[in-house]
């Protein structure tokens, strides 16, 4: 199910932008930030800054193409010099040999491409106190995502020898943690692990391990941004996303890396979903998601395989183009998310959730989404800070679309991109 889902118009020609199996989250970031409010206050500040890349020394910790894994570290200062934010980059998954080979030709599969473009720190990684008051002076890490399976492969897949691809996500995770511990993380007074999209899923997968590496740290928590992917039927009744995850699990050899208690009762692909993983996490956890996550709408609810109509395409491009029937379906999907969280997460110790009604995907690594959207009078950054520091309980569910006036919905129509049928 390799999906070429975005087309860019350029000089009268169509250039296919491959999502490399369910989406490039870097592209989602571009769409979200640079095409919504070009004159917005947060963009005028030009507050982002470049951070040098560190290549991992452990020889087995390699990207899909065999190049070294990588991360970025910006040192904290002042009162934040012993506090750490570790952020895991997102970027979809690859579920076939062909889609993984395509990823090798990008920063999602090779550090050679990471070296060609500097990384800018924004949102929760921003160093401006006015935009990031709780975490601005912390040590900040971005773990680059280049294994195609949310940092879980352990080189155990029989496909690794057959294909010349390297499925080493778990080894990358362990190697980067080892280096960060040596660079000061072991002395952290407080730490949070987070990630967006596929990096958010990785946060579910690695949260308790992260906590176990910091036995002397007083406060360790985790939260996922746009990473609560629903194990849900599409509009035709098919379990498209579960089938896709099944392919990921088998290609990368992930079954042995998933919770054993889950595997004993469920299919391995089901145990790759956050709604199962959260049952086995003991570390305090916050779920940050949109109830109208445009990526999930266009890949889980109304995927390309559902033979989506022109009206659905227009709706997914711009939620304001949705007709009442579409909104009814989207509200059903919203209710599925709310029900899943309420059933399995509501009473979990140290838990929190912040579900807004903005047509967005990931929301913590853009200054705009991090600091301006509000739900029940809390911005995303305020909600994360209140939950992390135990200033307030954060169990927030927004009203249904279009009730929230602070939302700036992604409008793919206003960009040069469109969803393919």
* Active-site annotation, residues: 197, 293, 361
Q: Write the CB contacts of 240 (distance below 8 Å, at least 6 apart in sequence).
A: 1, 234, 300, 303, 305, 306
Are 45 and 37 contacting, i.e. CB atoms less than 8 angstroms apart?
A: no
Rama region for 220: left / alpha / beta (φ>0; ψ in -120 to 50; rest)? beta
Q: Taking phi first (over 0 means left), then psi (-120 to 50 degrees means alpha), and beta for anything else, what does residue 36 get?
A: alpha
The two structure tokens encoding residue 320: 């304001």
Report whether 222 contacts 117 (CB < 8 A): no
Question: If residue 254 lies in a helix (H) or strand (E), which one and from where to where?
Answer: none
Tokens of 287: 């779920």
- Taken in order 17, 20, 26, 28, is the CA torsion positive or negative? positive
- Give the C-alpha separation, 60 to 57, whole Å: 9
DSSP state of 259: -
**In DSSP terms, which residues pair with 395 in a beta bridge?**
353
Which phi and psi (to 5°) does residue 378 adopt?
-120, 130
């Amino acid at each position: 199910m390799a999906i070429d889902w975005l087309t860019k118009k350029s000089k009268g020609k169509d250039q296919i932008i491959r999502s490399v199996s369910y989406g490039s989250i870097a592209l989602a970031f571009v769409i979200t930030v640079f095409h919504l409010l070009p004159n917005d206050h947060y963009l005028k500040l030009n507050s982002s800054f470049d951070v040098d890349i560190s290549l991992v020394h452990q020889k087995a910790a390699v990207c899909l193409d065999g190049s070294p894994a990588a991360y970025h570290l910006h040192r904290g200062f002042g009162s934040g010099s012993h506090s750490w934010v570790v952020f895991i980059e997102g970027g979809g998954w690859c579920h076939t040999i062909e889609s993984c080979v395509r990823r090798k030709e990008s920063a999602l599969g090779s550090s050679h491409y990471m070296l060609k473009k500097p990384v800018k720190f924004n949102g929760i990684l921003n160093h401006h106190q006015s935009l990031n008051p709780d975490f601005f002076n912390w040590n900040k890490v971005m773990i680059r995502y280049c294994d195609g399976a949310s940092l879980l492969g352990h080189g155990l897949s029989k496909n690794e020898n057959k294909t010349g691809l390297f499925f080493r996500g778990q080894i990358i995770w362990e190697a980067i943690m080892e280096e960060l511990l040596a660079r000061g993380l072991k002395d952290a007074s407080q730490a949070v692990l987070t990630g967006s999209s596929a990096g958010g899923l990785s946060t579910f997968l690695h949260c308790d391990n992260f906590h176990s590496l910091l036995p002397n740290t007083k406060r360790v928590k985790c939260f996922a941004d746009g990473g609560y992917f629903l194990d849900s039927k599409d509009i035709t009744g098919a379990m498209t996303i579960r089938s896709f995850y099944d392919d990921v699990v088998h290609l990368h050899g992930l079954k042995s890396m998933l919770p054993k208690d889950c595997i004993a009762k469920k299919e391995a692909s089901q145990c790759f979903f956050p709604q199962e993983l959260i049952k086995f996490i003991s570390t305090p956890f916050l779920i940050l998601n949109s109830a109208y996550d445009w990526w999930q709408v266009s890949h889980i609810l109304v995927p390309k395989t559902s033979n989506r109509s022109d009206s659905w395409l227009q709706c997914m491009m711009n939620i304001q183009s949705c007709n009442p029937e579409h909104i009814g379906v989207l509200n059903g999907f919203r209710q599925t998310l709310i029900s899943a969280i309420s059933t399995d997460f509501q009473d979990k110790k140290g838990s929190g959730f912040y579900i807004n009604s903005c047509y967005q995907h990931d929301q913590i690594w853009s200054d705009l989404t991090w600091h301006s959207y509000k739900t029940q009078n809390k911005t995303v950054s305020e909600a994360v800070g209140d939950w992390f520091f135990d200033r307030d309980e954060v169990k927030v569910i927004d009203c249904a679309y279009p009730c929230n006036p602070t939302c700036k919905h992604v409008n793919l129509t206003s960009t040069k991109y469109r969803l393919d049928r």
